[in-house]
Structure 1
Amino acid sequence: MAILMKGNEAIAEAAIQAGCRLFCGYPITPSTEIPEYMAKKMKKAGGTYLQAESEVAAIYMVYGAGAAGARVMSGTSSPGFSLMQEGLSYLFAAEIPCVIADVMRGGPGLGGLGPTQADYFQLTKGGGHGDYHPIVLAPATVQEMIDLTKEAFDLADIYRNPVILAVDGILGQMMEPVEFPGTYKAKILPAKTWAADGCEGRPKNNVISYYLSSEAGEADNLRWGKKMAQMQAAEQRFAELSLDDAEYAFVAFGTSSRITETAIDMLRSEGVKVGLFRPISLWPFPVEGLQKRVPQIKGWMSIELSAGQMVQDVRLAVNGRAPVGFYGRQGGMIPEPEEIVAAFKTQILQGGVQR
């Protein structure tokens, strides 16, 4: 049965159903409904809601609980996500699974409360120090927020890696009909024999992030590199709309992709064969899926709630074989479909963008 639910609350309920039993976070708009929901519901589910004194404290609480083998989560928005970057680097190095929801708002700095997608670089290029990547999943509907939240916990356990849900502020605040299919069943996951969850009857486990020997440090980095290569090979995710006969293509995720769908309808009504390539995994970026479309597409255009960040990955994937344009709005402003259509005609159809 479908129910009407706000995006942030859908993330929280999906996390509880996926077995999350500890939420550590600090309220920040526009993600605040996530901790609010957890504060109301977690105790009844047999878990704990813990409000930290800051996002810095929250991410290290996640570290401790994850190191003990718990399914643990935090939620925040862009300035708070910035404060978590050192902890995320430590979590990757210690190979501690966890899920973080970043409900993006305007910036830089304190910014405003309006929606944005300008955390893309921080999400996908490693916001903390060192060579590392979290898996980053970008839903475009409230239903996908449910499905990808559950998937995120499984992926975190499979790879022993942080997984980030990249949600713009519109999706976090909007309400849509959703369904929670039956009893959640996790995938067959590896046993957490590494966890520091009590060592009676076995040797103790140390969950640490680094060794002081340079030789050991390089060996760890090479091993992590192999794991990231496995994630890149197996976890590229995307969706397509109207691309089978398309001559041109937009690339967009989250709310931007939904607005772009209307622009596509407008252009197709004028006889322009255009479609949408929607990344669902921002890291690993779905290069393989996009490159399969390169031979047929005469021009690409990235639509973002930013000054232009994902467009760099699009250009790398296209590799000069077609022009790649960009249109975005910033600071919490949302593009209208008419703006997208006008920018597409100027940059792509009229040849305003070079390869």
Structure 2
Amino acid sequence: MEKVLLKGNEIIGEAAIRSGCKLFFGYPITPSTEVIEYLSAHLPKHGGTVLQAEDEIGAIYMCYGAACTGNRVMTASSSPGVSLKQEGLSYSAAVGLPMVVVNVNRCGPGLGGLGPAQSDYFQSTKGGGHGDYRLIVLAPSKAQELYDFTMEAFDLADKYRNPVMILSDGFLGQTMEPVILKERPEAPAFDRDWVVDGAKNRKKRILASYSLTNEIGEANNLIWEEKYKKIQEEAQRWEEYYTEDAEYLLVSYGTTGRICKSTVLNARAKGIKLGLIRPITLWPYPEKAFIPYKDKVKGIVTVELNTGQMIEDVKLAVECKVPVHLFRRQGGMLPTEDEILEYVENKFNLSAVEEV
């Protein structure tokens, strides 16, 4: 292991190389461009190939074709670019192709701006393209998680034969932090009897998503539905922070989840029993995390960089047994820990709590 100082996007690139990624297809877009730049400089040294496609649509279909061969494949972009990839992601999920997709989220809608945002939550977690499909979505909050989660993403993609998204943002992607470059354990062995790698000595394999009859279409959708249920049961992940005796909870992920830890510490210093649930998997959403608290806490605040998207999943997770409120910033603006705490105090009338 070695400890180095890298920009967030570069960390993703280094983790991909050490995960055995052999093919990267992408198109530059701020604030994700350093991913393709880093891989262009370093992946060929490790026997891999980087190709700048003509556009984001071309890039995702290059990933589709390359993933059919069983190689580890990745693409990266930012919000408008990821929008262009949605049809290809739907096709990839339908065929069961493992690949890793990085979204360094910038603010929108439309072309938007270059600042950090979480406004792609719906797009990422609800299936941004057509049809009933899901992406596994991981939400890092710091440099080490950018590295670790990228490595895990490739294994999850292979395990479940499904695209996996790393949902970063403009702050994480552009911030330089120290990271420990861990060596990846030997990759688990996964079923590869679907791989298209030549059919001279076996029956030919066809990877296609078109259903010739309604009966076949329903049968296929039931297979995918069962897979998604399995992922929901097995892959939920989250972090809890000062939740044991919490009377109030913050729920936040990524960059704002990181800020909320300071808010919790500041609240505790004032005698307010505040805790944090930080989702790590945005899909499957960690509903299990809320089971001990939905009949216990007095209120919840989601902290988001959007107009309120994750709050819907929080309300579902607590079955509307707890009041859930939203504190948000938009347009690339980040909240401070003091702004979040002031909102919590005002919303739950806690300003009278004595400092300890």
TM over 0.5: yes
Q: Alpha-carbon deviation of 1:46?
A: 0.1
Q: Alpha-carbon deviation of 1:118?
A: 0.5
- The residue aligned with 1:274 is 274
| Structure 2: distance between partners of 1:325 and 1:159 | 34
TM-score scaled to structure 1, two decimals?
A: 0.97
| Structure 2: distance between partners of 1:322 and 1:191 | 43
| Structure 1: distance between partners of 2:262 and 2:289 | 23
Q: Alpha-carbon deviation of 1:349?
A: 3.3
Deviation digits for residues 272-328 of structure 1 (CA, Å, limit 9, x no counterpart):
000110000000000011222222211101001111100111111112211111101
| Structure 2: distance between partners of 1:349 and 1:66 | 54
| Structure 2: distance between partners of 1:155 and 1:51 | 26
The answer on whether the counterparts of 1:94 and 1:210 sit within 8 Å (CA) in structure 2 is no
Letter in 1 for 2:34: E
Q: Any residues of structure 2 matched to 1:267-346 within 5 Å, and which? A: 267-346=267-346
Q: Any residues of structure 2 matched to 1:107-186 within 5 Å, and which? A: 107-182=108-183, 184-186=184-186
Q: Does 1:226 align with 2:246?
A: no
Q: Alpha-carbon deviation of 1:348?
A: 2.7
- The residue aligned with 2:354 is none
Q: Does 1:6 align with 2:7?
A: yes
| Structure 1: distance between partners of 2:189 and 2:342 | 48
Instruction: Report percent identity of matched pairs.
Output: 51
Letter in 1 for 2:216: A
| Structure 2: distance between partners of 1:145 and 1:117 | 16
Q: Alpha-carbon deviation of 1:192?
A: 1.4
- The residue aligned with 2:201 is 201
| Structure 2: distance between partners of 1:103 and 1:185 | 27
Aligned residues: 350
- The residue aligned with 2:72 is 71
Q: CA RMSD in A?
A: 1.2
Deviation digits for residues 126-180 of structure 1 (CA, Å, limit 9, x no counterpart):
1000001010000111101111101000010111100000001101111111111
Letter in 2 for 1:206: I
| Structure 2: distance between partners of 1:14 and 1:208 | 30
| Structure 1: distance between partners of 2:282 and 2:348 | 24
Q: Alpha-carbon deviation of 1:185?
A: 2.4
Q: Any residues of structure 2 matched to 1:48-127 within 5 Å, and which? A: 48-127=49-128
SS in 2 for 1:185: coil
TM-score scaled to structure 2, two decimals?
A: 0.96
Letter in 1 for 2:181: F
Letter in 1 for 2:296: Q
Letter in 2 for 1:156: A
| Structure 1: distance between partners of 2:186 and 2:292 | 32
Q: Alpha-carbon deviation of 1:350?
A: 6.1
Letter in 2 for 1:177: P
For structure 2, which runs of at least 5 residues remain unmatched after alignment?
Answer: 352-356
- The residue aligned with 2:21 is 20
Letter in 2 for 1:332: G
